[in-house]
């Protein structure tokens, strides 16, 4: 059981250019449901107080789906200026909220409620201001990289998309 209140922000504004489709990335189907539908189903098990979905590219399509999915707050990122900007767009909906915020990507349907509940519990138990859930891959091609600090693997320096990464950063798994 979580001691703190939680909110969620689901980032769903991306274009998904690598998918070579006009359909918003989060609306591509997996097992007969849009990717974002799987993420929202998982969030529905977490007992969050407020759930915000940031839309952008193809917002009308995504928002129409959200209208039929349940209670979420829709925030539109008019100009796609990156992940940090997308999170900032949700800020106005969280001004009166006091608690922790879980930030998820709308195109991650393989997350499980068990892994997120464990992550949330560990975040609370650690007393950390910020926690980042990461994974290590044998072949990290196509994924962004977490660049950690020199003094400790716990220190987060930056998140670099693969297209912007140096050869050294691409070596991070």
Query: Which residues are bridge partners to 8 per DSSP?
Result: 51, 102
18 belongs to the catalytic site: yes
On the CB side of 37, CA atoms within 13 Å amount to: 13
The one catalytic residue in 18, 76, 95, 148 is 18
Q: Quote the strand ranges of 86-161, DSSP E.
A: 100-105, 145-148, 156-160
Q: Taking a C-beta distance cutoff of 8 angstroms, is the pair 40, 70 a contact? A: yes
Q: Taking a C-beta distance cutoff of 8 angstroms, is the pair 9, 48 a contact? A: no
So which residues are the catalytic ones? 18
């Amino acid at each position: 059981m979580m001691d703190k209140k939680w909110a969620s922000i689901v980032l769903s504004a991306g274009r998904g250019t690598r998918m070579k489709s006009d359909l918003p990335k989060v609306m591509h189907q997996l097992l007969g449901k849009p990717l974002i539908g799987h993420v929202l189903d998982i969030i529905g098990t977490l007992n969050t107080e407020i759930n915000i979905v940031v839309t952008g590219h193809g917002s009308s399509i995504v928002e129409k789906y959200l209208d039929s999915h349940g209670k979420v707050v829709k925030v539109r990122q008019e100009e796609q200026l990156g992940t940090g900007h997308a999170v900032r767009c949700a800020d106005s909906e969280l001004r009166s909220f006091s608690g922790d915020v879980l930030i998820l990507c709308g195109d991650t349907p393989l997350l499980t409620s068990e892994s997120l509940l464990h992550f949330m519990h560990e975040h609370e138990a650690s007393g950390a201001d910020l926690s980042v859930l990461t994974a290590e891959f044998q072949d990290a091609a196509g994924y962004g990289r977490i660049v950690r600090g020199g003094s400790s693997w716990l220190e987060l320096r930056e998140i670099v998309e693969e297209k912007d990464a140096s050869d050294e950063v691409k070596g991070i798994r």
